[in-house]
């Protein structure tokens, strides 16, 4: 066997989140789970809604429910998703504008492949979700990022700088992983303007990655991205909002006014096959149609409580960061006693505290912690952080 050359360096590079997750498992086995505080992985906090579980049980027991579905998904599921999107945005979505995909991740690789040819560039603002460069690499696409300064919301100047990197596709994520920032109309207007300033042939397409769409705090109601940039592809997922990341189900939508809507959905259907998904998980599709897509929502008050606990703990220890308004994460600066993110993360690991180095998100001066963990874990993590700060060890 010979592994493909393009994989070179993948192992070392491979998602820091996963690497930390694996380390966490090893630490729990050796130290005992009660001595470890694992703030590495963004698993949802609450159990899935009882209606979701009941329908999944019913579907799984139905012997007629396990065949292939069409590549774009079951009609009833696409209807349920388009009705939900229509209710949320006022845009007249119909079945034809929606595909069911294998989570946001599955939707993203389909969308990127639908829009970019090999060697073309995917452009993102950094910090960005760790998996983005890997999606690009696996598809033979070039990856470029434009760094954002706190508060991590792009200005017109940031958007113009990103356009200078000549992206074929601009990939956007708000509420953002890892910063927790939620972009308003101004950010989308800045991106729209920077794109419009380019000649028609140079204008990139936009892909929205929106798995945290409903997970926003402080009473915020973020704009619906396709209302802001109607030519874009929109991707969201039930992983976080319905607490079912293992079900691998999400959706991709095009604006009904998009003149290429039909061709885009044909491309999606083709790529669901050509990339080997065939379709999203059939049981999850049936469950979604039976429950009704607008009928389940995340327990925002619970997440917000955990956000506040972690934020207060970090602030009391002197950490500097922008308070998250959405998602599951805080992205603080590495304290000055440490040379970089790896030094800090390694020191934390020695105390049984698992956090993710910022370099996986394109920013080695910060680290990521999640608050979608139990309150005990947050308290234990704060104690451990205090010890790490008081005993940083020699500066490396």
**In terms of CB distance, is 129 or 344 closer to ligand PLP?**
129
Q: Is 250 in the site for ligand PLP (CB under 6 A)?
A: yes
CB of 35 to ligand PLP, least distance (A): 26
Helix (H, G, I), strand (E, B) or coil at 340: coil
CB of 338 to ligand PLP, least distance (A): 25
Do the beta carbons of residue 53 and residue 244 sit within 8 Å? no
Binding residue (CB under 6 A) for ligand PLP from 77, 174, 237, 283:
237
Do the beta carbons of residue 242 and residue 52 sit within 8 Å? yes
**In terms of CB distance, is 19 or 105 closer to ligand PLP?**
105
**In terms of CB distance, is 238 or 338 closer to ligand PLP?**
238
Q: Is 103 in the site for ligand PLP (CB under 6 A)?
A: yes
**In terms of CB distance, is 239 or 279 closer to ligand PLP?**
239
Q: How far apart are CA 77 and CA 238, in angstroms?
A: 13
Long-range CB contact pairs, 193-196, < 8 A, 24+: 193/156, 193/159, 194/156, 194/159, 194/160, 194/162, 194/163, 195/159, 195/163, 195/170
Q: Is 285 in the site for ligand PLP (CB under 6 A)?
A: no
Count of residues that bind ligand PLP according to CB under 6 A: 13
CB of 172 to ligand PLP, least distance (A): 10
**In terms of CB distance, is 229 or 343 closer to ligand PLP?**
229
The mark string for 197-216 relative to ligand PLP (x by CB under 6 A, - otherwise) is: ------------x-x-----
CB of 102 to ligand PLP, least distance (A): 7
Q: How far apart are CA 42 and CA 368, in angstroms?
A: 10
Q: HSE-up of 6 (CA within 13 Å, CB side)?
A: 12
CA torsion sign, 217 to 219 to 223 to 224?
A: positive
Q: Is 127 in the site for ligand PLP (CB under 6 A)?
A: no
What is the DSSP pairing of strand 121-126 with strand 329-330? unpaired
Binding residue (CB under 6 A) for ligand PLP from 24, 42, 123, 133:
42
| Burial (Cβ within 10 Å: 0-12, 13-18, ≥19) of residue 144 | middle
No. of helices (H) and no. of strands (E), the chain? 14, 12
Do the beta carbons of residue 178 and residue 361 sit within 8 Å? yes
57-65, 74-82, 98-106, 360-368 -> range binding ligand PLP (CB under 6 A) = 98-106
Q: Is 141 in the site for ligand PLP (CB under 6 A)?
A: no
Q: Is 245 in the site for ligand PLP (CB under 6 A)?
A: yes
CB of 2 to ligand PLP, least distance (A): 30
Nearest to 143 by CA among 168, 160, 164: 168
**In terms of CB distance, is 188 or 338 closer to ligand PLP?**
188
- Report 172-201 residues binding ligand PLP (CB under 6 A): 173, 177
Nearest to 328 by CA among 237, 212, 243, 223: 212
Instruction: Name 150's Cβ contacts closer than 8 Å, sequence gap at least 6.
Output: 322
By the criterion CB under 6 A, which residues form the site for ligand PLP?
Answer: 42, 103-105, 129, 173, 177, 209, 211, 237, 239, 245, 250
């Amino acid at each position: 066997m010979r592994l493909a050359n393009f994989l070179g360096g993948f192992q070392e590079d491979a998602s820091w989140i996963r690497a930390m997750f694996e380390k966490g498992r090893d630490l729990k086995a050796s130290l005992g789970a009660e001595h470890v505080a694992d703030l590495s992985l963004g698993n949802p906090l609450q159990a899935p809604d009882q209606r979701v579980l009941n329908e999944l049980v019913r579907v799984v027991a139905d012997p007629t429910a396990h065949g292939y579905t069409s590549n774009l998904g079951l009609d009833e599921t696409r209807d349920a998703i388009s009705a939900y999107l229509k209710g949320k945005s006022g845009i007249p979505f119909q079945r034809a504008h929606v595909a069911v995909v294998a989570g946001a991740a599955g939707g993203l690789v389909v969308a990127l492949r639908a829009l970019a040819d090999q060697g073309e560039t995917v452009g993102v603002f950094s910090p960005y979700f760790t998996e983005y460069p890997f999606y690009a690499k696996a598809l033979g696409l070039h990856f470029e990022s434009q760094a954002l300064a706190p508060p991590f919301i792009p200005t017109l100047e940031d958007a113009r700088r990103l356009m200078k990197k000549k992206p074929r596709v601009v990939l956007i994520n708000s509420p953002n992983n890892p910063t927790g920032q939620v972009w308003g109309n101004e950010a989308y207007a800045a991106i729209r303007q920077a794109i419009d300033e380019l000649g028609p042939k140079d204008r990139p397409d936009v892909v929205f990655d929106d798995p945290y769409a409903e997970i926003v705090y402080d009473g915020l109601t973020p704009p619906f991205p396709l209302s802001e940039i109607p030519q874009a592809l929109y991707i969201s997922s039930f992983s976080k909002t319905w607490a079912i990341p293992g079900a691998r189900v999400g959706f991709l939508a095009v604006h009904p006014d998009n003149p290429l809507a039909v061709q885009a959905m044909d491309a999606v259907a083709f790529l669901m096959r050509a990339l080997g998904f065939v379709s999203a998980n059939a049981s999850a599709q049936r469950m979604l149609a039976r429950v009704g897509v607008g009928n389940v929502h995340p327990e925002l008050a619970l997440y917000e409580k955990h956000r506040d606990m972690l934020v207060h703990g970090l602030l009391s220890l002197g950490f500097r960061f922008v308070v998250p308004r959405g998602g599951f994460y805080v992205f603080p600066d590495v304290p000055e006693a440490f040379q970089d993110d790896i030094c800090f993360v390694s020191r934390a690991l020695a105390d049984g505290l698992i956090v993710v180095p910022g370099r996986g998100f394109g920013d080695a001066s910060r680290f990521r912690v999640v608050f979608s963990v139990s309150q005990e874990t947050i308290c234990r993590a704060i104690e451990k952080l205090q010890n790490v700060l008081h005993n940083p060890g020699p500066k490396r």
